[in-house]
Amino acid sequence: MIQAQGLAKYYGRITALRDIRLEIPCGQFVALLGRNGAGKTTLLRILAGLTRPSAGTVAIAGLAPQAARGSVGYLAHSTALYMDLTAWENLRFYARLAGLGRAGADLEREIERVGLAGRAHEPVRHFSRGMQQRLAIARAFLHDPGIWLLDEPFTGLDQEGAQFLKGCLAGAHAAGRTILMAVHDIALGYELAQRFIVIEKGTVALDVMKTSMSLEELAGCFQAVAQGR
C-alpha cells in the first residue's frame, strides 16, 4: 500500500516534483509513464527511501520509506553490482547486509532462477549487459519484498532479456506483489500493467486503469499531455 500526499521535491531552483498525490493498493501493477525529466526517477527514489521529499507526506504500508526498507525492492538504472566480485559473492554480500542468512546453495538457486546457471562464480565484469540486469533483478528483490519499484528496467535488454523480465514481473504480480514500474515504451507498459500514471512536469497528469482505456487512446492521451494540452 503506497500513499503520497502533496509530495514535492526541489533541487535548489529546479522543481523535480510538485504536489504528487498517489494511492496504490496492495497487489496492483502500475506503469509510470512520462517524458525524460518528468520526475519519474525522483518519485521512485523518494518511495524507495533514498531521497527525502521537500514537502508532503509519503507512506509505505503506513510507515515512512526509511522505516519500510525491508518491504521495498528497488531496481534503478544502475545495477548496484560490484564488478570485481562474482555473481554469488554479490548476492551473498547483499543477503548478509539484509540479514537474510541465506546459505550458499540457496543463493545458487537464486542465480539459476534468473537464468545465470553455471555463471555463479564468474566476476560480474565479464557479464553482458543483459546478464548484469538479470543479476541486478536477483539482487534487488532478494529479500522478497512486497513492493517492487523499477526504473526503466527494459533499457538495454535484448529480446531474450526482455522476455525474461516480463516473465519475472508477471510472476511477481501473480504472487501478489505491488509493482510500480517506470517505462518508456507505452505499448510495453500497456501489456504488463493494470494502471497507468503519467507524470508530466513533476505532477500527475493522468491516472487511468487499463479497463477504461485502449492502447491507442492511452497513446493519444500521452501525446496530448506531452504537448501540454
Write the binding mask 157 to 196 for another protein: x where contact by CB under 8 A, - elsewhere: ----------------------------------------
Among 28, 79, 133, 178, binds another protein (CB under 8 A): 79
Min dist CB 43 to another protein, Å, is: 14
Among 1, 3, 56, 82, binds another protein (CB under 8 A): 82
Q: Tell whether residue 6 is a contact of another protein (CB under 8 A).
A: no
The residue range among 49-57, 156-164, 167-175, 189-197 that interacts with another protein, by the rule CB under 8 A, is 49-57
CA distance 179 to 169: 8
When the beta carbons of 72 and 169 are compared against another protein, the nearer one is 72
CA distance 24 to 70: 18
Selection from 218, 207, 214, 211 nearest residue 185 by Cα: 218
Question: What's CA 142's distance to the chain center, in Å?
Answer: 14
Min dist CB 1 to another protein, Å, is: 19
CA distance 87 to 219: 39
When the beta carbons of 166 and 201 are compared against another protein, the nearer one is 201
Q: Tell whether residue 69 is a contact of another protein (CB under 8 A).
A: yes
Q: In the block, which residue shows the cell 506483489? A: 177
Are the C-beta atoms of residues 7 and 52 closer than 8 Å to each other? no
Q: At what angle do helices 87-97 and 129-140 cross, to 10 degrees?
A: 20
Are the C-beta atoms of residues 22 and 3 closer than 8 Å to each other? yes
Contact residues: another protein, CB under 8 A = 10-15, 18, 45, 48-52, 54, 69-70, 72-74, 76-85, 89, 93-94, 96-99, 123, 139-140, 143, 201-202
